Amino acid sequence: MFVATVETRFEAKNILHIKAVGRWVVWSIKEADRTLRLLKTQNATKAVLDLSAVESMDTTGGLVIERTLQSLQKHGISVQCTGGNKDVRALIKQVSQYPIEDVQPPKKLGFCCYTLNRIGKAAFELSIQCKELLSFFGEIAVVFWGAIRHPRKFRLISLTHHIEDVGMDALPIVGLISFLIGVVLAYQGVHQLARFGAEIFTINLLGISILREVGVLITSIVVAGRSGSAFTAQVGTMVLNEEVNAMKTMGLDPMEYLVVPRILGLVIALPFLTFFADILGLIGGSVMLSFLIDISFGQIIDQVRQAVTLKTFFIGLVKAPVFAFLIAMVGCFEGLKVTGSAESVGQQTTRSVVEGIFLVIIFDALFSVVFSHIGW
Amino acid sequence: MDKRTQVPIIQVHNLVNAFGKQIVHDLLDLTIYRGEVLGLVGASGAGKSVLLHTILGLHRPSGGEVRILGKNIAGLSFKERAQIDQQCGVLFQGGALFSSLSVSDNIQVPLRELARLKKPLTEEVVFQKLSMVGLPAATAFKYPSELSGGMTKRAALARALVLDPEILFLDEPTSGLDPISAGAFDSLINELKSNLNLTVVMVTHDLDSLKTICNRIAVLVDKQVIVGTVDEIMANKNPWIQKYFHGARAKAVWGE
């Protein structure tokens, strides 16, 4: 393809003759650039730069020539340019208008400083985040209180839309996942309990674990991934579009119009979803059991009745609205914190899902502690 | 006009673009000559962006052909296509700088990935190009999110120019800039165009730009283009062109 080369020789003892040959364009400049960087001037006091063999030149080629001229001059060598057609000379003249400043990039921190810096920053940001989330919680409480006193403030159409969006539309995925979890639990349970000849107690295991913990937890995690992220993306895009600012200037409170319907919608929908997940989980487990051990559906239902009380069921269900509140609150909170670019929407959405699931697990642990204290 | 302008560099022939039943371009012909600055104007929705995207190969036309540097871009191999693309620099409307990279890295991407150059030469080229587009050298270490609108456009222009393309495409280069920055950007384009022997195709609504830097104007009306020098277009009888170039805003810029 294209080639750019440099030929150097000493004419007299102290005259360095540099001849540039070929096409000095960005595609072929690499070798010539390296040669000129490593150029040994020895005792030269004068240099001649011969451009007569240059076929074509672009700004990058001109840059290399210009830089060589400057570095020779810096070494106290007087340089003379010869040859070169009209275009090449014109180009070199133009390139010399655009000086290359030598600017150092801002200094980077060393490893230790950098790590400390990151830890400090993360801790600081975490504390700010907690504070903001708490104040957001307060804001929600105030708006809710206002809405309870003036029920007209609950946006019914918006609310039903969100219930459909986060509840109805989530039924297939939540149902499928719960069913499969039931299948897996039953399989593992039978496998272990068979060693004691106590396969029948797999049903107790299934009933209690699904109703108390697994059903609501799986549903919450799926909903955090599905609806928590959607809330952040929706609200975030509205912030980006200045729709939220538009609402504020009209005197409409985004908390009332955007946040409350979403939170309330999820708080209403999640208990129903959890109930659905509980049932599907039990069905999944029962189906698997009837394959694995010789047992009829009638026997399974009898055993479930013995193992599970209404309390077990409500212990699972009572957590659902709390988890729903956490997921929706974090989703809206992160959405409202979107700033600047579309990139920010992506970042906030990731954060919203991670924080949503994290909070759900934390509160689940808290519930366990409380329930064990009151002896449930 | 001098002789150079008579060499065609982009030829669009019998171009048809249709989306469903809506026809945007119907047998459109447009020839762009080497060394000229062509301004592309038209009403919103008249298909300026579609035309630009078709020429750039980002949109496959429903019919007709586009030739760049004599080659039909539809029938090229991947390699030939890449060679054509390397002769075209594009400044997108929002700059389209890669947001995860600093300005310096943005400009170095084509140098590293296509021209296979290494530091320190790539860094020197960055500072040269920044000085060309009139940005201070310290801008190199900033990220796109830290730049103002005018700076973003200049940085994106530096990236578009880094491989010394023959043809420069500008999509609304002055939109979103204040009049002073827009004026400065116009004169920058003018200066670079004569220094680097560029052919410039610019989509614009800026009457000042049309007046100060465009040699010819192509107006998209009735699914075709009407091309001519500024005076020829001014004299055209098409009602849309009459409104555009003789409206109150136009009079303020062009005079009577």
The secondary structure of B100-114, three-state, reads CCCHHHHHHHHHHHC
Task: Inspect the interface and report whether the beta carbons of A98 and B132 lie closer than 8 Å.
Answer: yes
In the prediction, which pLDDT does B7 show? 84
Residues on chain A touching B138 (C-beta within 8 angstroms): 103
The Cβ of residue B168 has, within 10 Å, a number of other Cβ atoms equal to 23
Chain-chain contact of B164 with A30 (C-beta, under 8 angstroms): no
Of B125, B127, B145, the CB nearest to A60: B125
Full DSSP string of A318-348: HHHHHHHHHHHHHHHHHHHT--SSHHHHHHH
Cα separation values, A27 from A33, A60, A273, B87, Å: 12, 9, 62, 12
Q: Which pLDDT tens digit goes with each residue over A315-330?
A: 999 999 999 999 999 9
Q: CA A217, CA A320: separation in Å to the nearest integer?
A: 9
Could you report the per-residue pLDDT of A187-242, keeping only the tens digit for each? Answer: 999 989 988 888 888 899 999 999 999 999 999 999 999 999 999 999 999 999 88
Q: Among residues A142, A156, A341, A134, which one has the least CA distance to residue A253?
A: A142
Ranges of residues in chain A whose predicted pLDDT is under 70: 1-2
DSSP per-residue string spanning B161-184: HTT--SEEEEESTTTTS-HHHHHH
Name the residue type at position A225.
G
Q: In this complex, do A25 and B164 lie within 8 Å of one another by their Cβ atoms?
A: yes
Q: Report CB contact under 8 Å: A103, B140.
A: yes
pLDDT (0 to 100) of residue B256: 55
Q: Which residues of chain B register pLDDT less than 70?
A: 1-5, 255-256
> Which letter does DSSP use for residue B6 in this model?
G
Interface test with A, best of B101, B113, B114, B121 (most A CBs within 10 A): B121
Return the residue in A33, A65, A101, A338 with the most chain B beta carbons within 10 A, the one to mutate for interface testing.
A101
Question: What does the pLDDT read at residue A1?
Answer: 57
User: Which candidate from B116, B124, B163 shows the least CB-CB separation from A63?
Assistant: B124
Query: Are the Cβ atoms of B125 and A29 closer than 8 angstroms?
Result: no
Task: Give the Cβ contact number of residue A372 at 10 Å.
Answer: 9
- B145 closest CB neighbour out of A64, A95, A341: A341
Distances (CA, A) of A278 to A212, A312, B112: 9, 11, 57
ipTM score assigned to the predicted complex: 0.79
Q: How close, in Å, is residue B217 to chain A by CA atoms?
A: 28
Q: Three-class SS of residue A143? A: helix
Q: A33–B131: do the CB atoms touch at under 8 Å?
A: no
Contact flag A29-B117 (C-beta cutoff 8 Å)? yes
Question: What is the structure's pLDDT at B100?
Answer: 85
Q: How many A/B residue pairs have CB atoms within 8 Å?
A: 61
- Strands of B20-55 (E only): list them: 22-33, 37-42
SS3 B19: strand
